[in-house]
Structure formats: C-alpha cells, structure tokens
Chains A and B, each alone.
Chain A
Amino acid sequence: NAGVTQTPKFRVLKTGQSMTLLCAQDMNHEYMYWYRQDPGMGLRLIHYSVGEGTTAKGEVPDGYNVSRLKKQNFLLGLESAAPSQTSVYFCASTSRGGKGYTFGSGTRLTVV
C-alpha cells in the first residue's frame, strides 16, 4: 500500500549512542517532515525538507540532523542520544500545494 513507512518501530538507546531513523514514502511527495510527540505537547516539528538535497530546521532541531539524498527518503539522525530525546517520532510527507499530510505510524524511542 502507498504511504509513509518508518523504521524501526521501537528502539532503546543508551545515553550517548547514535542512531538513524528512516522514513520512506512512495507517493512522489516533494515535502517531508520529522515531528516528535511528547505527552501534553502535541507534535513539534524537528526538521523538514522541501525537496531532494534540501533540509531546514523546524521548531526543535537541537540534537538532531537530517538528510534527504533521495526524494523518497528522509533520514533523522541522533549523534549522541540524551534522555530528553525519549519520544515518539513521526515522519510525514505531502506534495507541493498538497491538501494534507500523510503520516507514518511512528517510531517509539527510549533513551536510558
């Protein structure tokens, strides 16, 4: 089925470890986004991309890096994980002028 796929679905990291979350979409969407969701905070934008090879900072970018080497993939990296990065991470995509985003099912990350 067409949509947004996130891997992995769950991960536990130790403080200081690094990891990469992968988001893949097969809808040929130009725009892709990474959000984090914390209790009582709603979804907050980490980084986004308006096209292959471009990235930009969102509301809460510190501690994260992203890359968009291919149009269909958007990677979110944590270089040195901290407990404050324990959260559920959602990827989303939309077409230029699109009428609503499509979200992945999320990655639950715990940093101990």
Chain B
Amino acid sequence: GQQLNQSPQSMFIQEGEDVSMNCTSSSIFNTWLWYKQDPGEGPVLLIALYKAGELTSNGRLTAQFGITRKDSFLNISASIPSDVGIYFCAGLNYGGSQGNLIFGKGTKLSVKP
C-alpha cells in the first residue's frame, strides 16, 4: 500500500527558531494535508494543498506541494512554546470510491522555553 516517509521523527528547538519537516512518498497524491495533534486530542488541520507547486501559508506556517506530487514540506517560523505537539503529513487521492487519508508517522516537536 501507499506509505509516507515523514522526517524528522522528532526535534528540539530553541524558541524563536524556524522549523522544517517534510514528507515523501513513492506514489503521487492529489492533495497534501498537514495536521497538528495535541496530547489527548484528535488531529487538527493546519494547511491543505491541492495543486503541484502550490505554496500556502497560515500565519507562521508555510507548506508546499512538491512539483512531482510525491512530496511536501511544512515550515514553522519563529517557533513558540505552543507549537509543541505532533505534526502529521497526510496524502489524499479522491480516485474511485475511496478517498481516504494516508498518514505519515509524525514529527514530534518540542520547544525549549
């Protein structure tokens, strides 16, 4: 089945630093999504990307849909303590009757205050 490779698995950063994480796949997706999950909660959508090459921002977050449709990255600028959590990439194809998300294994972000 389709798999997403998300890296890094975890990272510690100093408050104020920029963060970058990415996802790659052996197959193409029509949509890339980035989620954040806080402890004890479900994933919450941060950014959705629908076209190859698309670059989208949401506040301090910026994500891009790779030209090959097999990768995506997420950048967080000027990190703050509330950025702590697990970030997941997810790929989606609405082909046929399926339309289900394939998730990466997550990047755990910890910020040193």
User: In the complex the two chains form, is A105's CB within 8 Å of B41's CB?
Assistant: yes
User: In the complex the two chains form, is B100's CB within 8 Å of A97's CB?
Assistant: no
- Return the chain A residue nearest B104 by Cβ: A42
Give residues of chain B (1-45) contacting chain A, Cβ–Cβ below 8 Å.
1, 6, 31, 33, 40-45
Judge whether A103 is part of the interface by a CB distance below 8 angstroms: yes
Count CB-based A-B contacts (< 8 Å).
56
Q: How many residues of B contact A (CB 8 A)?
A: 23
Q: Contacts A43-B88, A59-B1, A101-B45; is A106 near B105 (CB within 8 Å)?
A: no
Dominant SS at the B interface?
A: loop
Sorting the interface of chain A by its residue count into under 10, 10 to 19, 20 to 34 or 35 or more gives 20 to 34
Judge whether B66 is part of the interface by a CB distance below 8 angstroms: no
* Residues of chain B within 8 A of A48, CB atoms compared: 98, 100
Interface residues in chain B, defined as those with a beta carbon under 8 Å from any beta carbon in chain A: 1, 6, 31, 33, 40-45, 48, 50, 88, 94, 97-101, 103-106
**20 A–B contacts from the bound complex (CB under 8 Å):** A41-B105, A42-B6, A42-B88, A42-B106, A48-B100, A50-B98, A58-B100, A59-B1, A90-B42, A90-B43, A92-B101, A94-B99, A97-B94, A99-B31, A100-B45, A100-B48, A101-B45, A103-B42, A103-B43, A106-B42
